[in-house]
Amino acid sequence: MSHGAITLTGIEPRGVIEGGRVWLRGTGLPPVVGTDPAISIGGAAARVVFAAPDRVAVVVPAAAAAGRAPVRATWAPGATLFVDVGTRLATGLHQVDSPAAGRDGWIYAAFSGSRGQESAVSVYR
């Protein structure tokens, strides 16, 4: 998936929801930042939140419809990566980083609360 000196090599994660981050991986990627229509997910412009020559992070836009969606960058014409956009089922939840899947089939996540707040329970199943 290359065009000139720009090469797209991958995307992660492959499953996303509105507001989540998608990382485009490659080489020779341009230094784009902010809301840039140069990158789209499902045809909707994605906001760039980080850019380096080997990776670019974008936020999944609310306008991205659920289902398999193409991720395109105008600076890499012909290169299309895909993500599966999920449907948001709940709101008002705290983001969970690095959840763990147990052998028992449960997902375990930590909750530390806001700064200065003490939580009675810190690990949830």
- 125 alpha-carbon distance from chain centroid: 24
What is the reported pLDDT for 3?
43
Question: What residues contact residue 51 under an 8 Å CB cut-off, 6+ apart?
Answer: 29, 30, 31, 32, 33, 57
Full-model pTM: 0.67
Distances (CA, A) of 43 to 4, 34, 68, 72, 82: 23, 17, 12, 8, 12
Domain boundaries, the chain: 2-85, 94-125
What is the reported pLDDT for 67?
92
What is the reported pLDDT for 2?
39
What is the reported pLDDT for 23?
94
Q: Position of tokens 């899947």?
A: 101
Please say whether the structural domain 2-85 has been given the CATH code 2.60.40.10.
yes
**9-33 per-position pLDDT tens digit:** 899 998 998 888 999 998 888 877 6
Positions of the chain with pLDDT lower than 70, given as ranges: 1-4, 33-37, 92-98, 112-115, 117, 119, 121
